[in-house]
Amino acid sequence: MKIKELVEKSGLPRSSIQYYLREGLLHPPLKTGKTMAYYDESHLHRLKQIKNLKKDARVPLSFLRERLKETEEESQSPPRQYDIPRKVITTNEKKKKKAAIIKKAIEVFSQKGYHRTKVVDITDSLNISTGTFYIYFKNKRDLFVEVIDDVFRNIVGEAASSIKTERDFLKRLEIRGQVFYNNYTKYNEILNQLRAEITSDDLWPEEKLKKIYHGLTKPVIREIQNASEEGVIKEIDSDLLAYALTGLIEIMSFRLSLDSKYSLRDVMAFIGDLIGSRLVTSK
């Protein structure tokens, strides 16, 4: 947007915007000529931050700088200088680039944790600029949410593909358990970080965790209901059983990570016997 539109959207006069630019509180726009410059949503977001901090009162520039710096570190906001791509990027190229960033983020988040990871840690690992990063993600939190969604899609998608030709109820559950375990070993640290974020004041971690478990249990609930209707298993609360099985395989995956006393086969046989002896009918 041009500065005229930025003035209208921010509700701040041009003189104030130019003042913040001179003082370094607002990062420079993209200049396309001596008198032509373009601003984007990041500039509008920063101006709103400044307005919220000032709250119509006179505050020292040093205070604004300090608070904006803290906010930037917390949210991993875009840096002050942008590098705009000079060539047209196809949709397929964008998908590949975004997928590569998510893949690398899973690795970095797993090693360093969510709070200690900086956007530059990921961009340096991929040898891309931070400007390129902000083409695909608003900030670090936006990327972390995408990482969680990607982990969830991997687990559900792999399970659906693996059981496609299997018709036996218990074998289908066993395959789901194996898929969950395989992904648990890869993504456990990411899921733990999401759980840790629930203690924050933000609502999104709790909502995201609810969505994940709902997505994991939904297909299992459906399978339990079908098996019950067909008389393969006794009538039971399918919702509670699905969550019980999900929790069981999760804690068993954790148990396997502690030492080498049990194998995955031992665990799956134990769960199978537990379910089979209690639920499966003679049919």
- pLDDT, residue 85, reads 47
How many Cα atoms within 13 Å fall on the side-chain side of residue 255?
A: 13
What is the pTM for the complete model shown? 0.61
pLDDT at residue 94 in the model: 83
Q: How far apart are CA 88 and CA 86, in angstroms?
A: 7
On the 0-12 / 13-18 / 19+ scale of CB atoms within 10 A, 205 is buried
Q: Where are the beta strands (DSSP E) in 141-276?
A: none
**CA atoms of 141 and 219, how far apart (whole Å):** 29
* 276 CB neighbour count, 10 Å cutoff: 12
Mean pLDDT in order along the chain per 10 residues (283 residues): 88 87 83 79 85 69 69 53 51 86 91 87 88 85 89 87 89 89 83 83 84 90 92 92 91 91 91 83 72
Q: Map out the domains of the chain with their CATH numbers.
A: 3-75 (1.10.1660.10), 91-136 (1.10.10.60), 140-279 (1.10.357.10)
pLDDT of residue 57: 58
Task: Check: CB of residue 232 under 8 Å from CB of residue 170.
Answer: no
Closest CA to 241 of 218, 214, 221: 221
Structure tokens at 201: 């004041």
> What pLDDT does residue 283 have?
63
